[in-house]
A and B are shown apart, each in its own frame.
Chain A
Amino acid sequence: MNGLFTELPVLLIVIPLAGVPVLYFTARRGLGTALPALAVILFVVILLSSGARDAMHTPVVTAAGGWQPDLGIGLQFDLLAVAAMLVTSLIVAQAILSHDETSGAQHFRTLLMLLYAGSNGLMLTQDLFNAYVFIEITSIASYALVAGKQDRGGFESAFKYVVMGSFAGLLVLWGIAGLYLTTGTLDIQSLASRFEAAPGAVASLSAAAVIAGLLIKLGQVPFHAWKADSLSGASYTVSALLSGVTTTAFFVLLLRVLSALPSLTVSLAPILTTIAGLSIITGHLMALRQPRYSRLLAYSSVAHVGYGLLAVSSGAVTAIAAGLFHILVHAIMKSGLFFLGRSFLHTGNRSDRLEAIVFPEQHRTLHVTLYVLLAMSMIGIPPVLGFTSKWYAVLETARAGYDTGAALIALGGAVALVYYLRVGLQLVHRGLPELSSPGPASKRLPVPIAGTALILLLAAFSDRLLGFCVLAVVQLMETV
Chain B
Amino acid sequence: MSGITAALAQTVNTPYTEPGAVFVSQAILLFGLLALAFVALHTKRSTLWWVGAVVHVGAGALLPYTANMAGFFVIWELVTVGAAIVLVCEPDADGLLRRYLPWQLLAAALLLSGFALQFAESGSIALPAAGVTAGRVLIGIAVAIKAALMPLHLWMVETYVRVRPGTAVILSAVATKIGVFGVYRLLPGSITLEILGGIIATVAVLYALRQNRLRPFLAFHIISQVGYMIAGVGSAAAVAQIAGLYHLGNPIAYKGLLFMVVALMVPMTGTSNIYSTRGMGRRSFVLTVAAIAGALSISGVPPFNGYISKSLLQSSLVSPVAVHLLTIAGIGTALSFTKFLWHGFLRPGPLPQAHDVQEGLIVKTGTRTITAVLSLLCLLMGLYPRSFFAELPVSTGITGQSFLSGLTWPIAGAALFFILYGPILRVLLVTLPGSNTVVSLLRSAGTRGLQLMQRQHSGDIRRYLGWAVGGTLLLWTWVVLAP
Contacts and interface: CB of A to CB of B under 8 A. Distances in A.
Physical contact A–B (CB less than 8 Å): yes
Interface of A: 159-160, 163-164, 167-168, 171, 201, 204-205, 207-209, 211-212, 215-216, 221-223, 225-226, 228-229, 264, 267-268, 270-271, 275, 282, 285-286, 288-289, 318, 322, 379, 381-383, 387-388, 391-392, 394-399, 401, 403, 406-407, 410-414, 417-418, 421, 425, 429, 460-463, 466
Given A164-B464, A270-B478, A398-B120, 19 more contacts: A164-B465, A221-B471, A223-B467, A267-B482, A267-B483, A271-B475, A285-B449, A286-B457, A318-B2, A388-B4, A392-B2, A398-B116, A406-B117, A407-B116, A410-B113, A410-B116, A429-B93, A462-B4, A463-B6
A315 to B, nearest CB: 14
Given A382-B77, A398-B116, A398-B117, A410 B109 contact: yes
A411 B113 contact: yes
B392 to A, nearest CB: 36
Contact of A226 (B70, B461, B476): B461
B4 A414 contact: no
Residue with the highest number of chain A CB atoms closer than 10 Å, among B2, B113, B449: B2
Interface residues of B, number: 58
Contacts of B435: none
Q: Which 3 A-B pairs have CB atoms at the shortest separation, nearest pair first? A: A398-B116, A407-B113, A225-B464
Interface string B471-483: 1101110111011
A406 B105 contact: no
B106 interface: yes
B465 A167 contact: yes
Contacts of B98: 421, 425
Contact of B450 (A205, A207, A285, A396): A285
A425 B470 contact: no
B110 interface: yes
Nearest to B138: A407
Contact of A163 (B3, B74, B461, B478): B461
B468 A204 contact: no
A61 B107 CA distance: 48
Contact of B105 (A275, A388, A394, A417): A417
B13 to A, nearest CB: 15
B112 A391 contact: yes
Nearest to B106: A414
Interface in B182-213: none
Nearest to B119: A395
B115 interface: yes
Interface string B114-147: 0111011001010000000000001000000000
Contacts, number: 181
Nearest to B7: A463
A205 B115 CA distance: 38
A289 B450 contact: yes
Contact of A411 (B94, B110, B463, B474): B110
A205 B120 CA distance: 33
A231 B447 CA distance: 25
B358 to A, nearest CB: 28
B74 A403 contact: no
A209 B5 contact: no
Contacts of B450: 285, 288-289
B389 interface: no
Given A268-B478, A414-B109, A286 B472 contact: no
A427 B191 CA distance: 49
Contacts of A460: 5
Contact of B4 (A159, A171, A391): A391
Given A395-B116, A398-B116, A466-B3, A212 B472 contact: yes
B475 A208 contact: yes
B66 to A, nearest CB: 13
B475 A211 contact: yes
Contacts of A209: 472, 476
Contact of B470 (A222, A382, A406): A222
Nearest to A272: B475
B467 A222 contact: yes
Given A164-B461, A285-B453, A403 B116 contact: yes
Contact of A208 (B78, B138, B467, B479): B479
A282 B109 contact: no
Contacts of A429: 93-94
Given A395-B119, A406-B116, A463-B3, A414 B105 contact: yes
